Amino acid sequence: MKRKVTKAIFPVAGLGTRFLPATKSVPKEIMTLVDRPLIQYAIDEARAAGIKEFIFVTSRGKGALEDYFDHAPQLEEELRRKGKNQLLETLESTNMESGAIAYIRQHKALGLGHAVWCARRLIADEPFAVILPDDVIAADKPCLQQMVEAYAETGGNMVAAMEVAPEKTSSYGMLDVSEDMGAMVRVQGMVEKPPAGQAPSNLAVIGRYILSPSVLTNLQKIKSGAGGEIQLTDAIAREIENENGVYGYRFAGQRFDCGSKSGFLQATVAFGLAREELHDDLSAYLHDIVTMGKAAE
Flag whether pLDDT at 213 surpasses 80: yes
- The answer to whether residues 232 and 206 touch, using CB atoms and an 8 Å cutoff, is no
C-beta neighbour count of 223 within 10 angstroms: 6
Q: Is the pLDDT of residue 208 over 90?
A: yes
The CATH class for the domain spanning 7-259 reads alpha beta
Per-residue pLDDT averaged across 185-210, rounded? 88
The per-residue pLDDT for range 188-200, each reduced to its tens digit, is 988 888 887 788 8
pLDDT of residue 228: 66
Instruction: Tell me the one-letter amino acid at 24.
Output: K
pLDDT of 85 reads: 84
Question: CA triplet 22, 28, 34: central angle to 5 degrees?
Answer: 90
Which band of pLDDT confidence, cut at 50, 70 and 90, is reported for residue 282?
very high
- Tell me the pLDDT tens digit for each residue of 90-142: 877 777 776 688 888 888 777 888 899 999 999 988 999 999 999 999 999 99
Give the per-residue pLDDT at 258.
93
Q: Tell me, yes or no, if the pTM score tops 0.75.
A: yes
Give the per-residue pLDDT at 297.
Answer: 54
Tell me if 10 sits within 8 A of 69, measured CB to CB.
no
pLDDT of 238 above 70? yes
Q: What is the mean pLDDT of residues 220-247?
A: 79
pLDDT for position 256:
96
Alpha helices in the chain (DSSP H): 38-48, 63-68, 73-81, 85-92, 112-117, 120-123, 143-154, 214-221, 232-237, 261-273, 276-292
pLDDT tens column, 240-249: 887 778 999 9
- Where do the structural domains in the chain lie, given as residue ranges? 7-259, 260-297
> pLDDT tens digits for 14-44?
777 888 887 888 888 888 999 899 999 999 9
